[in-house]
Amino acid sequence: MSKSQIERELRQRVAGLSEELAALVLQATQAAVAEALGGSGGAASATKRAGKRGAKRSGKKAGKKAGKRAAKKAASAGRAASGGTTGRPGRPPLQPEAETQRFVERIKKYLGTNPDSRLEEIGAELKASTKQLKRPIYLMLESGELSTTGQRRGMRYRLR
């Protein structure tokens, strides 16, 4: 065998090997995307779903977006199962309804004996922050249990 024949055969084998490697990498990528999406369709299914939504994405990008959506849904479901409120990504959950109702009762009791009190005064007496009291006060205002006088920090609350 001459030197040129050997070089030609080596190039052919290297080219064949690189094609096999590229096919294996593609298969592994598709399997990883399919596993991340929780389905068996892989990147092709993600592309079809993206096409149904009207998005013009490649299979790889569509798979990434679908994976992020699935992760968001799972996190949201976890918050709902733990008693938190959904729909508030990146923010702490609202205080539990039972705690809000306890504050409503305590505020009613305090305002019964101390009408025309400011939020800071109510918070100091109930040993609660004004942040904790804002939601119960808002709910009481919405239901018509409280009336207000003044504006902003000078706002005073009284029972109706």
Q: How confident is the model at residue 140 (pLDDT cuts 50, 70, 90)?
A: very high
Residue 160, token pair as written in the block: 């109706």
Integer angstrom CA distances of residue 148 from 79, 80, 82, 104: 35, 35, 36, 16
- Amino acid symbol at 59: G
Which domains occur in the chain, in start order? Answer: 3-81 (no CATH), 97-159 (1.10.10.10)
Q: How confident is the model at residue 139 (pLDDT cuts 50, 70, 90)?
A: very high
Backbone φ and ψ for 144, nearest 5 degrees, come out as 90, 10
How many whole angstroms separate alpha carbon 12 and alpha carbon 24?
19
Rounded mean pLDDT, 85-114: 84
pLDDT at 50 over 60: no
Q: Are 45 and 39 in contact (CB under 8 A)?
A: yes
pLDDT at 109 over 90: yes
Rounded mean pLDDT, 24-52: 71
Say what the pTM is. 0.45
| Confidence at residue 6, expressed as pLDDT on a 0 to 100 scale | 87
The residue with greater pLDDT, 148 or 73, is 148
H helices of the chain, where? 3-37, 42-52, 59-81, 97-113, 119-126, 130-143
Sheet holding 156-159, edge to edge: 117-118, 156-159, 146-149
Q: How confident is the model at residue 2 (pLDDT cuts 50, 70, 90)?
A: confident
